[in-house]
Amino acid sequence: MNNQKNRVACINCNLRKLCLPSGLGSQDLAHIDEVIVVRRRLKRCETLFCTGDDFAMLYAIRRGFFKTSTALENGREQVTGFQMPGEILGLDGILDDHHTCTAVALQDAEVCFLPLDRIRALSPLVNGLQHHFHKIMSGEIVQEQGVMLMLGSMQSEERLAAFLVNLVGRLHTRGFSRTEVILQMTREEIGSYLGMKIETVSRIFTRLMEQGVVKVNQRHIHILDQVALIRRASQFEGARAS
Amino acid sequence: MNNQKNRVACINCNLRKLCLPSGLGSQDLAHIDEVIVVRRRLKRCETLFCTGDDFAMLYAIRRGFFKTSTALENGREQVTGFQMPGEILGLDGILDDHHTCTAVALQDAEVCFLPLDRIRALSPLVNGLQHHFHKIMSGEIVQEQGVMLMLGSMQSEERLAAFLVNLVGRLHTRGFSRTEVILQMTREEIGSYLGMKIETVSRIFTRLMEQGVVKVNQRHIHILDQVALIRRASQFEGARAS
DNA sequence: CGGAACATTGAGAGGGATCAATGGACGTGG
DNA sequence: CCACGTCCATTGATCCCTCTCAATGTTCCG
């Protein structure tokens, strides 16, 4: 059934430690390939799925950044997350077989299609697959709780700092620098995600730069003082010190 | 193994349509009972599990309200959710076998213990169990996305209205009034959940009362104008939990 | 070159936070 | 049954963080 041309087997994929096969033995790794039916390339700005779409399957990101967003009635959109290679998209659609958010590629991307029924069918056969799939969903829940925390109890500077810390952390797991990031999203998307306006995002980047914490050049962020950034991200200790 | 004294079989539980057994046939309903190892009663303010606790199992609420909260470094706490009978607690612990939040009973309560490995073991045997379990986790993700939306893009009045709409909606599903609520949480807990201060919560209750939308008497809320309330919460249609 | 998309910066306004005081509700003990 | 303390909620006055409105700057590209 492995019928795709441009296929790279999970076992040869450099993301296997982060993605669905995480934690599987090499024997099971061979089986897990059967979960993937197709791999698809997307151009920048292309939509993977849309709010309201029938839920067909899950998607593992193999290359490229994504954003998910939900549309508000008045036309505005709120970004609910940024996803990177190795992460799974579409978990929201399981609830009632319709997607509740829209996933858009922020750069040219490539995703593996993972029909949920195949994951289910393979679960009894592949040791640890079910467990790991549950972990992926649980991780999504925990991650979102972190965002709720951020939105509910932090000020703008802390949110942006926390956002950067989270971003470089995830990138570092994928072998990238801990101090250099090239943002794949606009200021507006960052603001939407963090619950603040684009002007505020911009001002806080400027402020962090003035304080020598980061160096900002358009989308290119250089973290000069990692400790200071983390301190700003972990709640206001002396924020209002009189 | 159904060894508890004060057991009510799932098949006789009035919450079965909302809880884990949702959607199962009567034949499978008998089996699902094997998932439950214990049922435990908790007093008001008692803790079910704590941030950092080893993840042991999931918990289905049979009676009573709960709140979940995460502690911030500086000692404050942020409420991440309010749970009612039929809902499942503990899904956050699956990720790395430790709970990331604390669950506390807001009133005298009763929970069914659901070891995850039993759910897994039963999954291949009980038709639809695995699917429904996935739906429960997906529902948690969708619910939290709704909260993110609320925190990120709504003002205080909208948030409180959305909170009330969500609450009465879930209560209505459980057979309660659509217009009368007795809040089980303090203004402070509401504020923590909605990302606002207790004074603001209070002021907005007053404002909604002045506008004739609700009648507020301590914890007792009477919704006078449901349409007006929903209109104030309009950006928050979704997130109607199970 | 000129337009579009994106980002920065400034001035002013407003929503919610903070600080502070008062008002109930409830339980305990005299 | 009342006095009293505690917990919780309400209300007012003031401050400040972030939004809004507006103008300018920068990059990219046809």
* A4 found inside a domain: no
Listed in sequence order, the residues at least 6 apart from B10 whose beta carbon sits closer than 8 Å to its beta carbon are: B16, B19, B20, B21, B29, B32, B33, B36
Nearest-CB residue to A145 (from B76, B94, B144): B144
Task: For residues B104 and B53, state if they share a domain.
Answer: yes
Whether nucleic acid strand C comes within 7 Å of the CB of B218, the answer is yes
* A148 found inside a domain: no
Domain interval for residue B30: 10-145
Task: For residues A209 and A165, state if they share a domain.
Answer: yes
Q: Is the dihedral of CA B159, B160, B165, B170 positive or negative?
A: positive
Distance CA B111, CA B63 (A): 7
Instruction: Provide the 8-state DSSP code for B98.
Output: B
- 3-class state of residue A150 by DSSP: helix
* B4 found inside a domain: no
Task: For residues B34 and B126, state if they share a domain.
Answer: yes
Whether nucleic acid strand D comes within 7 Å of the CB of A156, the answer is yes
Task: For residues B54 and B105, state if they share a domain.
Answer: yes
CATH assignment at residue B26: 2.60.120.10
Q: Give the pLDDT band (50/70/90) at residue B82.
A: very high
Q: What is the pTM of this model?
A: 0.93
Task: For residues B139 and B81, state if they share a domain.
Answer: yes
* A241 found inside a domain: no
Task: For residues B140 and B161, state if they share a domain.
Answer: no
Q: Are A73 and B234 in contact (CB under 8 A)?
A: yes
Task: For residues A131 and A164, state if they share a domain.
Answer: no
Whether B73 has a pLDDT exceeding 80, the answer reads: no
Task: For residues A23 and A132, state if they share a domain.
Answer: yes
Q: Give the pLDDT band (50/70/90) at residue A32.
A: confident
Domains held by chain A: number? 2
Which pLDDT score is estimated for A84?
97
Task: For residues A165 and A191, state if they share a domain.
Answer: yes
Task: For residues B69 and B175, state if they share a domain.
Answer: no
Looking up tokens 């029938």 gives A54
Task: For residues B159 and B140, state if they share a domain.
Answer: no
Q: Which amino acid is at B118?
A: R
Task: For residues A15 and A135, state if they share a domain.
Answer: yes
Residues B141, A91: C-beta atoms closer than 8 Å: yes
CATH assignment at residue B190: 1.10.10.10
Q: Are B127 and B24 in contact (CB under 8 A)?
A: yes
Listed in sequence order, the residues at least 6 apart from B172 whose beta carbon sits closer than 8 Å to its beta carbon are: B178
Strand-pair partners of A167: none
Which pLDDT score is estimated for A38?
87
Whether nucleic acid strand D comes within 7 Å of the CB of B26, the answer is no
Per residue in A120-131, pLDDT (tens digit) is 988 888 888 999
Which pLDDT score is estimated for B93?
97
